[in-house]
Amino acid sequence: MKIQGSRAWAVRIPLRTPFPHNLSVRKVTESIIIQLQDDRGFFGFGEGAPRPYVTGESLSSCMAFIKNTLFPWLARQNWPDHINSRNEMLQWMQEFHHRFPQRKEDPIHTNNSSRAALEIALLDCLLKRTERSFQDFFPAQRSTLRFGLGIGAFSPPVAGLIAGAGRLLGFRDIKVKLNQKEDWKRVKAVRFGAGKSARIRLDANQAYSLTDGAACERLASLRRWKPICIEEPFREKDHPRINHIRTSTGLRFMADESLLSLQDAETIVQTGSYDALNLRISKLGGILPLIRVLELGRKHGLLLQIGCHVGELAILSRVGQLLAAHYSCIDYLEGGYGTWILKSDIDPKSSKIGFGGKLLVRPALSSFGYNVDTDALRLAA
């Protein structure tokens, strides 16, 4: 397979309402979309979601890397024409990541969003020309997924009202953003609004410091509201110290910004610093890196969550759904909101969650099963 045409878009789509957390107040989602055309005329699309406060990438840095480095490199590559088994697909992805043009002096997570977008776009082409679907190799183990409700770092009364509405709408899982401003009151309001049986996870987005004893005590006080875990509580990456606080407070921690590669996951396992892993396709650099981290976490008995960046578009959303349907070991799911939170999307027929966060995973008749509307894509770019 030879790629004969390539194009990239920097896409910005407004959210229906701003979503605040400790590192950002997101009003617009930002994604990069890659379109490829192979030597038989098949088109493939991929998506990445660069976030400066996660991997250090931005729309502009991704577009520069794609146009100046990735596309010239891609024009010189030859890829297999067909894949006939799951093992062949895994080998293909492994070869892609081995060849990917990464400077040795750069951190391993550099360009993860671009890497993920290109991996998905190439796989989309390959599956279409092979006349196969992703589910042929990663079959669904469950047909219905259940996603959680995300509540931003709103004032406690607003957060409580959202939790109460979520309870009426059947949500069982709720994630609440922390920012060190009225966190205790916010979590209390959510617990009362959501009810005793709701499974509540907290996400600090690095709001707390390991060196601030009073802040650590305030964090520990949140145990009263029985959270499942607290996601990325500290801005420092001192894994032994994090493990000490985790053990002494009895809290469970989930890694997010600390988890950008398989090497990061191995450090987490070795130090025991986190009890859970937030797996995001774009953040980790693609499908295969996510699978490798997932398998390591499963082997060591960690809680697993397929997460998303706020406002991911139809491509990342769909690929995440297919992975979640296949890996029944996933404990928590984020995303699936589509145009519930976006003012528009690049696939107008993409699936989105219904009552209680439920989503029926429709079979992919070809490739991943998304259909990108290029007119909508041009309008959003």
Tens-level pLDDT at each residue, the chain (381 residues): 999 999 999 999 999 988 888 777 889 999 999 999 999 999 999 999 999 999 999 999 999 999 999 999 999 999 998 899 999 999 999 999 999 998 888 888 999 999 999 999 999 999 999 999 999 999 999 999 999 999 999 999 999 999 999 999 999 999 999 999 899 999 999 999 999 999 999 999 999 999 998 988 999 999 999 999 999 999 999 999 999 999 998 999 999 999 999 999 999 999 999 999 999 999 999 999 999 999 999 999 999 999 999 899 999 999 999 999 999 999 999 998 999 999 999 998 888 999 999 999 999 889 999 999 988 888 887
Pair 96, 176 in one domain: no
pLDDT at 280: 97
Q: Is residue 118 part of a domain?
A: yes
Residue 380, domain member (yes or no): no
Q: What angle do CA 135, 136, 137 make, to 5 degrees?
A: 85
Residue 108 token pair? 């391993």
The last residue of one of the domains, among 112, 137, 162, is 137
Cβ-based neighbours of 203, under 8 Å, separated by 6 or more:
21, 175, 176, 177, 178, 230, 231, 232, 256
User: In terms of domains, do 123 and 242 share one?
Assistant: no
Q: Domain total for the chain?
A: 2
How is residue 252 written in tokens? Answer: 């469970």
Q: Do 98 and 164 lie in a common domain?
A: no
Where residue 191 sits, what CATH number does that domain have? 3.20.20.120
Listed residues 81, 116, 137: the one ending a domain: 137
272 and 295 together in one domain: yes
Residue 152 forms part of a structural domain: yes
* Tokens 């990663």 sit on residue: 138
| Domain that residue 52 falls in | 3-137
What is the CATH classification number for the domain harbouring 38?
3.30.390.10
Say yes or no: 102 and 155 in one domain: no
Q: Residue 300 falls within a domain, yes or no?
A: yes
Q: Does residue 214 share a domain with residue 254? A: yes
> pTM of the entire structure?
0.96
- Whether residue 104 sits in one domain with residue 86: yes
Residue 378 within any structural domain of the chain: no
Q: Are residues 302 and 207 in the same domain?
A: yes
